[in-house]
Chains A and B, each alone.
Chain A
């Protein structure tokens, strides 16, 4: 029972981190119809930038803000220079974002070296609570809270605000929105930058959890996020939230009992869902 509770919290924390990646991917896919393979690299950069700023300022909040800002900036540059010429051409999008991924992964290696850099948790969250013999890491609770806040925030932004309304209208008919005097390109760039910032936030929060940052951590998490996207149903925001929790719990439980099987289990779960429900759990139309 104690182990169960601990794994539940571990799994939810893991799920919250995956959600930060998957939510960005899902929004970019759903609103822009763009598949973004640079998400893993934004994750890495978020991690490296946060460590770098943390080592200079010693402040965890400043490090996180810097990482998010770096992610948003990279997202803006990527969108303007590389994504905008290939809107509507999925194959070119996949190829270009893959190429960018290679360049920026190697650039991270160039700046920060090929070896993992150790990272420490912020002191005020390094503690644990012991409730009835269950050890609960405060940092994991913090991650879960961040995940929930981000989910509520995105939901509010997309469904309750004017900005969200324009974004939703832009999916239906970008030309019409443009004709109404709203510069839809700005919104598209903003969405891409926002998704990129979420990925960088994920990276910045992931690093203290595992204790180090290295350039290979992007691909693993990107694949988990992809699995979540397909599992939840492409372009569905709720699907990516539910999918993140499922995959997070799966990873936590399997890696506790038999770690080598973790990768296989997540992919098998995906294949199982695809067999039973090809459009994913919450599948719905994506902008075509």
Chain B
């Protein structure tokens, strides 16, 4: 088994065909806003931003082996902080900068406190306790947003204005794309760093890492803080795109969305989250269009849960994992 997983995790070496494909994809991505309508542009911007939310989850689930059921707290927190500050202090770039700093600090502090309690145990019971405690933290966040009606407008949701430069949909598309590229590079750097290697060692065998002398709790805390800050930044971008925040963003369902993006794409690959987000968002959109045919297609959550269970049972490595596996098989066939 370790051999197989090693093969699967090996980064694909780019052949000339792959380069051609990637260049075409890049050109396509750059010109697409000029050849399609507003709906597609917004959908793609959404995918780019949510992909970061998914990737931040992959740092936890895929690289460290943590299940955090309160991850929405960081993403929704970022969106709410931006929303509240825009509506209270005016929609200017200065406010945006301040909101970014505040939400990064918020994410770091909350992640640190959350981790202090969630990462107490180790092994089997540790995973369960972590899931339960993070769930409780997430619910506290949702509850707080619902209670502080004066700031958040409660269940009605908060509508706000954004700085002028983010109001044009086309420009917002490019900002979202830039954000995705920048965050991917940063997070890639992180998972390939010595710290990232330790995280993977913890994921593969918590105890072994501990016996090797690593303070596993400290490394898990680092992973949670990094993932929390990345998803808070994604939350701010989401605020700029949607100009709206409601308590949906803070529910367990929101965390499960990020988890689904990661597992559909393939955990422990980072890029997988981008494919996963695209797949899930496009599927959701497509199914909603079918709602004219039968009413059942408007019940997205039914499909969401079904995809979820099926992926975990039958495709645990996700789209990227399945692709890599197929490629290995083709290669093996070519050799013989």
Contacts and interface: CB of A to CB of B under 8 A. Distances in A.
A286 interface: yes
A288 B143 contact: no
B322 interface: no
A16 interface: no
Given A91-B67, A226-B132, A288 B308 contact: no
Nearest to A233: B125
Interface string A195-226: 00000000000000000000000011001001
B172 interface: no
A170 B134 CA distance: 31
Contacts, number: 107
Interface stretch (B32-40, B116-124, B227-235, B271-279): B116-124
Range of interface residues on chain B? 35 or more
A98 B147 contact: no
B31 interface: no
B137 A267 contact: yes
Given A95-B259, A226-B135, A271-B117, A102 B304 contact: yes
A85 to B, nearest CB: 6
Contact of A230 (B133, B263, B302): B133
A286 B305 CA distance: 29
A124 interface: no
A274 B139 contact: no
Contacts of B133: 230, 270, 274
B315 to A, nearest CB: 12
A177 interface: no
Nearest to A227: B136
B312 A234 contact: no
B309 A99 contact: yes
A82 B259 CA distance: 19
Given A95-B312, A102-B308, A223-B136, A230 B301 contact: no
Contact of A103 (B129, B139, B306): B306
A171 B139 CA distance: 33
A219 B308 contact: no
Contacts of A86: 312-313
Contacts of B253: 102
Nearest to B255: A98
B309 A263 contact: no
Nearest to B113: A271
B171 interface: no
Interface stretch (A42-50, A65-73, A105-113, A185-193): A105-113
A103 B117 contact: no
A257 interface: no
B72 to A, nearest CB: 13
Range of interface residues on chain A? 35 or more
Contact of B301 (A103, A219, A271): A103
B302 A94 contact: no
A131 to B, nearest CB: 36
Contact of B312 (A99, A105, A229, A278): A99
B139 A100 contact: no
Interface string A83-122: 0011000111011101111111111001000000000000
B263 A95 contact: yes
Contacts of B256: 98-99, 102
B313 A230 contact: no
Q: Which of A107, A227, A230 has the largest count of B CB atoms less than 10 A from its CB?
A: A230
Nearest to A104: B305
A234 B128 contact: yes
B147 to A, nearest CB: 5
A219 B129 CA distance: 17
Interface in A257-288: 260, 263-264, 267, 270-271, 274-275, 278, 286, 288
Interface string B131-156: 11101110110010001000000000
Contacts of B147: 260
A35 B131 contact: yes
Given A91-B67, A110-B302, A264-B140, A35 B120 contact: no
Contacts of B67: 91, 94-95
Given A33-B124, A35-B128, A103 B309 contact: yes
A92 B132 contact: no
A35 B131 CA distance: 10
Given A35-B131, A90-B127, A286-B124, A219 B306 contact: no
A277 to B, nearest CB: 11
A13 interface: no
A260 to B, nearest CB: 5
Contacts of B125: 234-235, 286, 288
Contacts of B304: 102
A143 interface: no
A17 interface: no
Contacts of B316: 92
Interface of B: 65, 67, 69, 117, 120-121, 123-125, 127-129, 131-133, 135-137, 139-140, 143, 147, 252-253, 256, 259, 263, 299, 301-302, 304-306, 308-309, 312-313, 316
6 contacts: A91-B67, A91-B127, A94-B127, A102-B253, A103-B301, A220-B139
In order of increasing CB-CB distance, the 9 nearest A-B pairs are A99-B308, A103-B305, A102-B305, A106-B301, A99-B309, A226-B132, A95-B312, A35-B128, A99-B305
